[in-house]
């Protein structure tokens, strides 16, 4: 008998203690969506999560920590559903979350991903830092969200309750159309963690696909459950990966214009960290830049692979990018609401 609703596999990559994961699974099992299963990809060989296994929950155990990106890919490869709903192990979903995301995705077959409203688990009136109410990006590779610009996070008072097309969906919670996901090749496993969803969404946009924000779907996110003890590694990955995102996805001509300025901005950030006494963060920038140049041959190959498949031009892709300097307006003129930057899209 044909299912009344398309099948969804909820993929939860896991690393760390089981308590948060248990809450995430329980929230999904209470969903009012009627055709889903859960795939837990356990990246922590020291943690036994077998107690969560059931008719609805399947567990895949990795022998070593492969990183968020590759663990998600393993989940995708083991799914045969119409949609994959990627969920962080420290997030809980509202009962209607999956239903609302699928409902919108089913309206337009060119939708690659759909993101729910992502709220803080600590303060449920405020957006969560990552994702918030939909992801955008400054042309030099700095992400921002409706509801969050740099470290300024807004309260949710209904200001972003419209369904809109965005530039990227957050990996903390995103519904992905499996057919289109296969065409992009999934996450870049070399990213390990951080920025992999922006890279994926950018590649999908190059192929002509869309990303949307769905306000009626909602999750609550704790955050940093896996990287809380590894701040230096987190900052290194953030800086390295956001440089690699540009190297992969801009055309060669645009890259020659953008990348030198991006490097200058990174070193200015490094200088600011030194002035502020944040020596570890400054060092993470230097090591990240060095790593990018050491691995440049690999990046060139990835760049060529992406560009060979290009459907939309950089100009078309940049239609959903912020064109003016977020840093200048934010730090010098105190423009800390996304609504201000929307005029520069």
pLDDT of residue 328: 84
DSSP annotation of 170 reads -
Rounded Cα–Cα distance for residues 251 and 314 (Å): 7
Question: CA 147 to CA 139: how far, in whole Å?
Answer: 19
Q: Residue 327's pLDDT is what?
A: 81
Q: Rounded to the nearest 5°, which phi and psi values hold at 85?
A: -105, 105
| Residue from 132, 113, 57, 111 nearest 89 by CA | 57
Helices (H) and strands (E) in the chain, counts: 12, 14
Please give the pLDDT value at position 40: 98
Measured CA to CA, the distance from residue 72 to residue 60 in angstroms comes to 11
Which distant-in-sequence residues (6+ apart) come within 8 Å of 29 by Cβ?
38, 56, 57
- CATH number attached to the domain at 9-221: 3.90.550.10
d(CA 204, CA 112): 7
- pLDDT confidence of residue 325: 86
- Phi, psi torsion values for 119, nearest 5 degrees: -110, 155
β-strand pairing of 57-61 with 36-42: parallel
Per-residue pLDDT tens digits of the chain, which is 345 residues long = 344 699 999 999 999 989 999 999 999 999 999 999 999 999 999 999 999 999 999 999 999 999 999 999 999 999 999 999 999 999 999 999 999 999 999 999 999 999 999 999 999 999 999 999 999 999 999 999 999 998 899 999 999 999 999 999 999 999 999 999 999 999 999 999 999 999 999 999 999 999 999 999 999 999 765 555 568 999 999 999 999 999 999 999 999 999 999 999 999 999 999 999 999 999 999 999 999 999 999 999 999 999 999 999 999 999 999 998 888 888 889 999 999 999 999
pLDDT for 1 equals 36
Q: How far apart are CA 132 and CA 28, in angstroms?
A: 20
User: What pLDDT shows up at residue 2?
Assistant: 44
d(CA 44, CA 256): 41
């Amino acid at each position: 008998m044909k299912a009344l609703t398309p099948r969804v596999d909820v993929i939860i990559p896991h690393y760390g203690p089981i308590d948060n994961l248990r809450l995430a699974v329980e929230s999904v099992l209470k969903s009012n969506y009627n055709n889903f299963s859960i795939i837990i990809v356990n990246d922590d060989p020291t943690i036994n999560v077998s107690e969560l296994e059931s008719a609805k929950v399947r567990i895949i155990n990795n022998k070593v920590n492969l990183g968020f990106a590759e663990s998600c890919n393993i989940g995708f490869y083991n799914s045969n559903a119409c949609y994959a709903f990627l969920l962080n192990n420290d997030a809980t979903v509202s009962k209607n979350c999956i239903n609302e995301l699928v409902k919108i995705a089913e309206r337009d077959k060119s939708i690659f991903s759909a993101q729910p409203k992502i709220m803080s688990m600590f303060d449920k009136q405020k957006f969560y830092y990552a994702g918030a109410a939909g992801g955008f990006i400054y042309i030099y590779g700095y992400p921002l969200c409706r509801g969050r610009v740099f470290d300024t996070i807004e309260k949710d008072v209904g200001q972003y309750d419209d369904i809109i097309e965005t530039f990227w969906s957050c990996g903390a919670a995103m519904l992905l159309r499996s057919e289109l996901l296969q065409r992009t090749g999934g996450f870049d496993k070399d990213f390990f963690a951080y920025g992999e969803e922006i890279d994926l969404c950018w590649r999908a946009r190059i192929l002509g696909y869309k990303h949307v924000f769905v306000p009626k779907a909602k999750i609550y996110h704790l955050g940093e459950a896996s990287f809380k003890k590894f701040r230096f590694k987190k900052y290194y990955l953030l800086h390295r990966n956001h440089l690699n995102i540009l190297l992969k996805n801009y055309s060669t001509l645009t890259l020659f214009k953008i990348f030198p300025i991006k490097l200058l901005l990174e070193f200015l950030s490094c200088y600011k960290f030194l002035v502020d006494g944040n020596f570890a963060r400054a060092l993470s920038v230097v090591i990240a830049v060095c790593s990018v140049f050491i691995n440049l041959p690999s990046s060139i190959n990835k760049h060529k692979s992406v560009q060979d498949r290009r459907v939309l031009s950089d100009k078309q892709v940049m239609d959903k990018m912020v064109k003016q300097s977020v840093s200048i307006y934010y730090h010098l003129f105190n423009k800390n609401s996304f609504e201000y930057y929307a005029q520069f899209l």
